[in-house]
């Protein structure tokens, strides 16, 4: 969840040229040598700026026709088009959406929107694999300040050893309520903290996770009941939840919603002391 390794962009210029050429080798749009060199510089600047929205990336010196042609070239990154291999390489690099960690990846999101940064429309470092729902929510955001941006999954760093995604779990009238929040931990940078907050709210993370939480905890019902047993052993329930937190932490990281949730439930005394029975709809038999 959150970040992905930066994919290789060593073929970026070759990919750009492919996008502007027909299958038969005829040019759809001819870039001058100077333009190719200037786009290469623009790509390098993008790397240096780690994908932050900055005026020089707008490519103001380029003609409108060139910008439109490059933007149009993104069509070749669709399924079955000339750059479909680039698409599958980027999408296959991620098992789940880095934003929500719920759904599989279906889309490529332009981190800096192609409607504004046309020359970055087919640049691999600007193309982030995302699920359809998150991509839809991300599409319309301004992305100018940390208060209205998503993190850049390739460039931004999040702490691995500190838990910044926390689940607040409460039992209200027997039912479990869960809210996720981002905590400002010692090594989580302020701007990344602000972006994480923004993106979690924007994609309605807590709300979308309700169904997933149900599925995850329903699968835990029998082990929880067995741990609790006739002795009503809250400590055994707590220990089981700690072990499951550790398991998901190894598998998905410390800041995946699954590990955060199980870690929080392990600390929820009411849940461990039998609150889970009603909350998971058990005990009616
Ligand atoms: Zn998603």
Tell me the pLDDT tens digit for each residue of 206-215. Answer: 999 999 999 9
Contact 271, 279 (CB under 8 A): yes
Tokens (6 digits) for 168:
């607040």
Q: Tell me the CA distances in angstroms from 44 to 31, 50, 124, 130, one per residue in order.
A: 18, 10, 12, 24
154 CA from centroid of ligand 1 (Å): 16
84 close to 78: Cβ distance less than 8 angstroms: yes
Cα–ligand 1 centroid distance for 260 (angstroms) = 17
Q: What is the pLDDT of residue 95?
A: 85
Distance in Å, CA 68 to ligand 1 centroid: 29
Quote the DSSP letter at residue 5: P
Residue-wise pLDDT for 202-244, tens only, equals 999 999 999 999 999 999 999 999 999 999 999 999 999 999 9
Instruction: Report which of 218, 219, 257, 244 is spatially closest to residue 101, judged by C-alpha positions.
Output: 257
Token digits of residue 70:
């490059």
Interval between CA 138 and ligand 1 midpoint (Å): 10
| CB-based contact 102:109 (threshold 8 Å) | no
Distance 277 CA to ligand 1 centre (A): 31
Q: What is the DSSP letter of 21?
A: B
Condensed to tens digits (0 to 9), the pLDDT of residues 160-208 reads 999 999 999 999 999 999 999 999 999 999 999 999 999 999 999 999 9
In 92-225 the beta strands, taken as DSSP E runs, fall at 107-110, 127-130, 165-172, 175-182
CA of 102 to the centre of ligand 1 (A): 6
CB count within 10 Å of CB 32 equals 10
Q: Which residue has the tokens 């291999």?
A: 85
CA-CA-CA-CA torsion sign (214, 195, 249, 176): negative
Which residues are within 5 Å of ligand 1 (an ion), measured at CB? 97, 99-100, 131, 134
pTM for the model stands at: 0.92
């Amino acid at each position: 969840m959150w970040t992905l390794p930066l994919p290789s962009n060593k073929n970026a210029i070759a990919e750009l040229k492919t996008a502007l050429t027909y299958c038969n080798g005829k040019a759809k749009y001819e870039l001058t040598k100077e333009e190719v060199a200037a786009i290469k510089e623009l790509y390098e600047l993008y790397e240096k700026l780690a994908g932050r929205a900055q005026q020089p990336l707008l490519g103001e010196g380029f003609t409108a026709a060139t910008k439109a042609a490059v933007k149009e070239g993104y069509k070749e990154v669709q399924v079955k088009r000339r750059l479909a291999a680039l698409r599958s390489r980027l999408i296959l690099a991620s098992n789940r959406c880095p934003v929500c960690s719920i759904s599989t990846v279906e889309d490529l999101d332009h981190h800096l929107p192609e409607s504004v940064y046309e020359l970055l429309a087919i640049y691999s470092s600007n193309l982030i694999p995302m699920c359809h729902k998150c991509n839809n929510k991300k599409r319309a955001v301004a992305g100018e300040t940390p208060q209205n941006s998503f993190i850049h999954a390739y460039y931004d760093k999040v702490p691995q050893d500190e838990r910044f995604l926390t689940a607040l779990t409460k039992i209200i009238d027997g039912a479990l309520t869960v809210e996720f929040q981002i905590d400002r931990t010692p090594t989580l940078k302020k701007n990344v903290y602000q972006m994480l907050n923004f993106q979690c709210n924007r994609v309605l993370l807590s709300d979308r996770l309700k169904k997933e939480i149900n599925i995850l905890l329903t699968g835990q019902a029998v082990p929880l009941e067995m741990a609790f047993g006739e002795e009503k052993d809250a400590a055994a329930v707590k220990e089981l939840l700690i072990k499951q937190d550790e398991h998901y932490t190894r598998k998905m990281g410390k800041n995946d919603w699954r590990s955060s949730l199980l870690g929080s439930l392990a600390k929820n005394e009411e849940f461990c002391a039998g609150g889970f029975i009603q909350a998971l709809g058990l005990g009616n038999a």
